[in-house]
Structure formats: structure tokens, C-alpha cells
Amino acid sequence: MNFAGEVRQAVTPRAALLVLGVLVLQLLFIASYVGALHRPVPTDVPFGVVAPPQASQQLVTDLDGLPGGPLDPRTVDDAAEARRQIMNREIDGALVVNPTGTTDTLFVASGGGSALATSLEKITTAAVAQQRRTVRTVDLAPASSDDFDGLSSFYLVVGWCVGGYLCASILAISAGSRPANLRRALIRTLVMAVYSVLGGIGGAIIVGPVLGALPGSLWGLAGLGALVVFATGMITLALQALTGIVGIGLAVLIIVIAGNPSAGGAFPLPMLPDFWRAIGPALPPGAGTWVARSIAYFRGNAVTGSLLVLSAWAVAGTALTLLLSLRHKRRHAAGTGGTDGNAGTPRPSPGTSGSTGTPPGGAHTA
């Protein structure tokens, strides 16, 4: 056999297409991560301003006009309201002007992302310095000393997502990526649910009691973990049922390539470029990271929208998986109707011998 023949046997056309797909995913991975994270710059950060009425609007205008547009300032009635809005994650920081002195107060929440809190401190310090004023920073939701840069929530959710799509991939490829019937799809869904509960509890125990990396409710994090794993796993099963082994690549595209860099983990959402900032909250890693930080540092506030996103992925994945199994079952029945399961092979009539020549009434081997 010549070399060309050896190549054709070693790399089939199907394998060549899959390798090409992997190359595309590799390049998209590089483009997405580097594109999202190579130059984190705060842009339009929701920011409160508490100042005397005669100075409030002018200060908002000045902050809004800073080069590069790092802040999206708005007037807040008083310091208590600024605190409330930060803890409800409506704004990321607030400047409280001291009407009787030259030292103002900056409220931040490093639990929502230390990089953003540090950037807000630098921006406001430079801005008020032009008026010969100084800033005193107060962290309303400080990140745990064992949660460097507030990254533990992000890595926890990434671990849950990885477990979800890996478990789903194993369940699917172990017996073919297209479910043969509804029963198999239901069994896979049940296994995925059990795995999700165990993964959620295990992850919460590791970051909580074991490592002490995240404060907040253990069972709140465990519940979140179960939802993240299940949502990720079921959408992976659905994609595999729809497209076969290609579904694994599509799951990687959605969860890893698009989801992880846009999750607001390494850098909070206001520090990401517009495209990643827009898609992040709608994908499981971003929604999960937001909820994990809210549970850990913001008393569980502002989680409804993100939980609905995760639930939508879970419901859509489950429904699509089950519907595709029904469609496959109908196609299988149509293709084998009136046959013994092998297309074009008629079933033996009662009282006649089968294809093996077994006489009527004789022993028959399945």
C-alpha cells in the first residue's frame, strides 16, 4: 500500500473533519480568552454620588466626562441609600462627599471583584485630587482573606460546569450519542440529576468548611451547584442528541470558549469589552458566578435573574433531550415497521420456518 493509502486509512474523512473542528475551537478559545481579558478597562461602571444639592449634579457631570468613560454616575440621596444599592448589586461603588471637610468616602465591595474595587479607588482618588480632596475607602462587602481577588466563586462555578459537560459526554458516548428511546433519555436525565446534587454539595463543602475560601450559606451554594451542573449537563446531552459527537464541541464552545471569559470571574463584567459583557450574564458560567458571589458576600441579594437563566438552560436541555429521543424513536419505528429490526428483512409468518430453517414447532434461538 502506498503512502496516500496509509494516510486515508489512518485519517478517515470523518476524522479529518473532526480534527478541523478541534482546530477551529482551539483558535476560538485563544481569540475569546485573549480578546476578553488582555486589556481589562472599567467602562460605564454603575456608580453612585452622594453630595450636597448645589454640587451633586456638577460632580456627576465631571465624573461622567472622565477620559474613556470609566463611570456611569448617578445621584443617590444619602449614604444609607448608597450602601443599600451596593449590597443589592445595583451599583458597584459610591462616592460620599463630606460637606464640612476635604476627605470624602468611597464605598466599594471587593467581594464582587477585587480588581474592580481597586480600579474604582484609583479613578476616584485621581478625580477628587483635582479639587485638592482625598478619599477614604470603605469596603462594604470585603472578599475573604482566603479568597484571593474574589476568584474562588468563579473557579467553583467553572468546576461545576466542567463536571456537568464531562458527565453528560460520558453518558452519551458510552452507548452512542443519539438516545435510542425515551427510556434511555430518562435514565440519563435521572443520573445527571443525582450527579448534579452530589457535585453541588461536594463543591460547596470544599470551598466552605474544608478550605474556608467562601463565606455564606453552605446549602445555598450547594443548591446553586446542583443547578449549574444540571443545566450544563442537560444542554450538553441535548446538543449531543441533536448533532452526535459534534455536540461535545458545541458544549465546549458555549460553556468554555464563550462562557468562561465572559463570566466576570477574573475581571468583573464592567471591565470586559462590550461583546463579552453582553453575553456573560446569559451563559451558565456568568450566571453561576454572579449568584455564588451574591450568596457569599451580598446576603443572597439580586440572584433572581441569574437563577432564571440557569433554570432556562436546564429546562431547555431536558426538554430537547426528551423530545429528540421521541423523534428518534418514531424514525426507528418507521424504518423497521413490518420487519424484525433489520431493514428489508420480513418477519417469519406464524407456522412457517424462520430464516435459519428451524421447522415449525421446533426450538428457536433469539
Rg value, the chain, Cα: 28
How long, in residues, is the chain?
366
**Secondary structure (3-state) at 115:** helix
- pLDDT tens, residue order, the chain (366 aa): 677 777 777 778 888 888 899 999 999 999 999 999 999 999 999 999 999 998 899 999 999 999 999 999 999 999 999 999 999 999 999 999 999 999 999 999 999 999 999 999 999 999 999 989 999 999 999 999 999 988 999 999 999 999 999 999 999 887 655 555 788 899 999 999 999 999 999 999 999 999 999 999 999 999 999 999 999 999 999 999 998 888 999 999 999 999 999 999 989 999 999 999 999 999 999 999 999 999 999 999 999 999 999 999 999 999 999 999 887 656 555 555 544 444 344 444 444 444 444 444 444 433
**First-last CA distance in the chain:** 41
Taking the CA atoms of 317, 208, 264 and 90 in sequence, report the sign of the dihedral they define.
Answer: positive
If we measure between CA atoms, which residue out of 196, 168, 174, 194 comes closest to residue 320?
Answer: 168
Kindly state the helix (H) or strand (E) to which residue 358 belongs, with its residue range: none
C-alpha distances (whole Å) from 273 to each of 91, 114, 213, 256, 270 are 19, 18, 28, 17, 8
C-alpha distances (whole Å) from 99 to each of 58, 104, 200 are 15, 9, 49
Q: State how far the Cα of 38 lies from the Cα of 320, in Å rounded to an integer.
A: 37
Tell me, what DSSP letter sits at residue 348? P
pLDDT given for residue 175 in this prediction: 64
Q: Please give, one letter per residue, the 3-state secondary structure of 155-186.
A: HHHHHHHHHHHHHHHHHHHCCCCCCCCHHHHH
If we measure between CA atoms, which residue out of 196, 104, 157 comes closest to residue 285?
Answer: 157
Residue 128 near residue 74 (C-beta atoms within 8 A):
no
Q: State how far the Cα of 354 lies from the Cα of 193, in Å rounded to an integer.
A: 45
Q: State how far the Cα of 332 lies from the Cα of 238, in Å rounded to an integer.
A: 19
Q: State how far the Cα of 326 lies from the Cα of 184, in Å rounded to an integer.
A: 11
Q: State how far the Cα of 219 lies from the Cα of 80, in Å rounded to an integer.
A: 30
Q: Cell numbers of 238, please?
A: 441535548
Torsion of CA 303, 308, 313, 318, to 10 degrees: 120
Residue 112 near residue 92 (C-beta atoms within 8 A):
yes
